Structure 1
Amino acid sequence: MVTDPEAFIRAQTAVARPALVPEIALHLATEITPIWQATEAWLGAEGIEPPFWAFAWPGSQAMARLILDRPAHAAGRRVLDFAAGCGLAAIAAARAGAALVEAAEIDPLAIAATRLNAALNEVAVTAVAGDVVGAPCRWDLILAGDVCYEAPMTGHILPWLRRMAAAGAEVWLADPGRAYVPREGLQELARLDVPTTRELEDRELRRVTVSRLLPDADPP
Structure 2
Amino acid sequence: MNPEAFVAAHTVVARAPLVPEIPLHLATEITPIWQATEAWLGEAGIEPPFWAFAWPGSQALARWVLDDPSRVAGLRVLDFAAGGGLAAIAAALSGAALVEVAEIDPLAHAATRLNARLNGVAVTEAPGDVVGGPGRWDLILAGDVCYEAPMTRHILPWLRGLAAAGAAVVVADPGRAYAPRDGLETIARYRVPVTRELEDRDEQEVLLQRLRP
Question: Which of 196, 202, 205 is matched with 1:204 structurally?
Answer: 202
Question: Which of 162, 165, 168 is matched with 1:164 structurally?
Answer: 162
Aligned match of 1:98: 96
Question: Which of 111, 114, 137 is matched with 2:112 structurally?
Answer: 114
Aligned match of 1:24: 22
TM-score calculated relative to the size of structure 2:
0.99
Q: Which runs of at least 4 in structure 1 moved beyond 2 Å after TM superposition?
A: none
TM-score calculated relative to the size of structure 1:
0.96
Query: Residue 100 of structure 1 contacts residue 125 of structure 1 at CA under 8 Å; is this kept in 2?
Result: yes
Question: Which of 37, 46, 49 is matched with 1:48 structurally?
Answer: 46
**Could you list the per-position Cα deviations for residues 4-41 of structure 1 after superposition, in whole angstroms to 9, with x for gaps in the alignment?**
00000010000001000000010000000000000000
| AA matched with 2:173 | D
> Percent sequence identity over matched residues?
75
Query: Residue 111 of structure 1 contacts residue 128 of structure 1 at CA under 8 Å; is this kept in 2?
Result: no
Query: Residue 191 of structure 1 contacts residue 208 of structure 1 at CA under 8 Å; is this kept in 2?
Result: yes
Question: Which of 81, 84, 95 is matched with 1:83 structurally?
Answer: 81
SS across alignment from 1:178? coil
Aligned match of 2:66: 68
For structure 2, the 5+ residue unaligned runs are none
Question: Which of 142, 145, 152 is matched with 1:144 structurally?
Answer: 142
| AA matched with 2:34 | W
By how many angstroms is 1:120 displaced? 0.5
Structure 1 vs Structure 2 CA RMSD: 0.7
Distance 2:110 2:121 in 1: 15
SS across alignment from 2:126? strand
**Could you list the per-position Cα deviations for residues 52-97 of structure 1 after superposition, in whole angstroms to 9, with x for gaps in the alignment?**
0000000000000010001111000000000000000000000110
| AA matched with 1:7 | A
**Could you list the per-position Cα deviations for residues 125-174 of structure 1 after superposition, in whole angstroms to 9, with x for gaps in the alignment?**
11224210011110000000000000000000000000000111000000
Aligned pair count reads 213
